[in-house]
Amino acid sequence: MAVPSPGYSLTLRVETPATITATSELAAAVGKAGGAITALDVTESGHDHMVVDVSCNTTDAAHGDLIRDALNALEGVTVRNVSDRTFLMHLGGKLEVVPKVALRNRDDLSRAYTPGVARVCLAIAENPAAARNLTIKRNTIAVVTDGSAVLGLGNIGPAAALPVMEGKAALFKQFANVDAWPVCLDTQDTEEIIMIVKALAPVYGGVNLEDIAAPRCFEIEARLREELDIPVFHDDQHGTAIVTLAALTNALLVVGKQIDKIKIVVSGVGAAGNAIIQLLAARGANNIIACGRNGAISSADVSPDAHRNWLAENTNPEQFTGTLKEAVVGADVFIGVSAPNILDEADIAAMNKDAIVFAMANPDPEVDPAAAGRHAAIVATGRSDFPNQINNVLAFPGFFRGLLDAGVSDITDSMLLAAADAIAARVSQDELNPGFIIPSVFDPHVASDVAEAVAHAAAKNK
């Protein structure tokens, strides 16, 4: 299933004889070794030699070594250097602070800083609400993590989580012009995290919780929502739920089914799984089976985890008690936010006619998408190298843009549903097909449509 990915992109600086076929021979060698050429650039040329930068996507580090060896094996060819383009992108970090005001002379300085700034400080001291208009607060959010559940990498800690949080902040700016900053906390104590975020809150207009392990993430989010006057959004929960519902809305249109008439099986009962199930229920789904490591959750399951108890009480109406593989038999929809390769082709073949499979574990899905596609009507993943990528980038930038524009602190189901509908609507009826059920993250209208929908829902709630 592994295919070349931009995540393992290399540039190999190669010295080669100056022949008319030199570049084509380099490209052929890369292709034969399974790489995907993205660029060939001649950087130096002499009477008898050339230096060519060969950029290509690979499947992993070992594959990169294989391609290097294939080029070195060509007659007269030497690989001078290999650069990992992903690491190069991260050198020095992905963010910087740029002033919005000019500081050209003493006059500018006197207004931006002392003595003029003191007047602004006193105005905020007299009226704290003025900070929203007179500081960065109205357009700035904190991207907060403790590094305990980073991507599919697990508990790798705050320093190792920083590249992800930088990327998240960059996406906020790129897609919705929201200024965001990574806040990676060197503690995994629930009370300490809550205390620190509350202490930092005066700077920010909102908090995006990210990659915090369940079940602690539930309490942290609930407490912060209760104790802060700014919106708190857990993207791993609600961002995932929004884009999943958007994709499912369009997928059901393609296969001609209704959400209140289908059987849905969800693998994964952590943050994402819980939020997906609750939002599907809010939209009208009434036959959902939630499966954890030990199989289906039913009303017989009692847990100290309130969210797991909610699943036990509000899902699985027929009280099915089998395994995940048994649960998907006859199911209309499978949604995976769990672990790689837990289903196989035979499992998908056992689903209902015109089945929908969302295998969203990253980087390796719950089932091979190619195998699933031989039986399911629609297959979606979290990956960019297959059709129908279900990606949170479609949700969180515009969602926060709408929250900040509306100046609200509460996040409601009506906002989540409105955001999902806005994303789904970006795919017109004329465009809709099994390979295109959800818009590209680069659709320039997604974030603004989501922001408008969230702001409108917020206004109705006031």
Active site residues: 113, 168
Angle formed by the axes of helices 216-227 and 190-200, nearest 10° = 30
Tokens linked to 104: 């050209």
Task: For 75-213, list the strands marked E by DSSP.
Answer: 78-84, 140-145, 179-184, 206-209
Which 3 state secondary structure label does DSSP give 181? strand
My answer on whether omega of the bond before 231 falls inside 30° of 0, hence cis, is no
Distance CA 256, CA 378 (A): 12
Cβ(173)–Cβ(143) below 8 Å: no
- Distant-in-sequence, close-in-space partners of 195: CB < 8 Å, separation ≥ 6: none
Residue 360 in contact with residue 340, Cβ under 8 Å?
no
Residue 267 has which token pair? 């693998």
Question: How does strand 78-84 pair with strand 5-17?
Answer: antiparallel
Query: Are 325 and 345 in contact, with CB atoms under 8 Å apart?
Result: no
CB neighbourhood size of 151 (10 A):
11
CB of 254 within 8 A of CB of 432?
yes
Which residues are CB-contacts of 299 (< 8 A; sequence separation ≥ 6)?
312, 313, 316, 319
Give yes or no for a contact between 360 and 412, defined as CB atoms under 8 angstroms apart: no
Q: Are the C-beta atoms of 243 and 391 separated by less than 8 Å?
A: yes
Instruction: Write the single-letter amino acid at 231.
Output: P
Tell me whether residue 340 is exposed, middle or buried, using C-beta atoms within 10 angstroms of its C-beta: 0 to 12, 13 to 18, 19 or more.
middle
d(CA 168, CA 164): 6
Residue 137 to residue 35: CA distance in whole angstroms: 46
Instruction: Calculate ∠ Cα 162-213-208, nearest 5°.
Output: 55
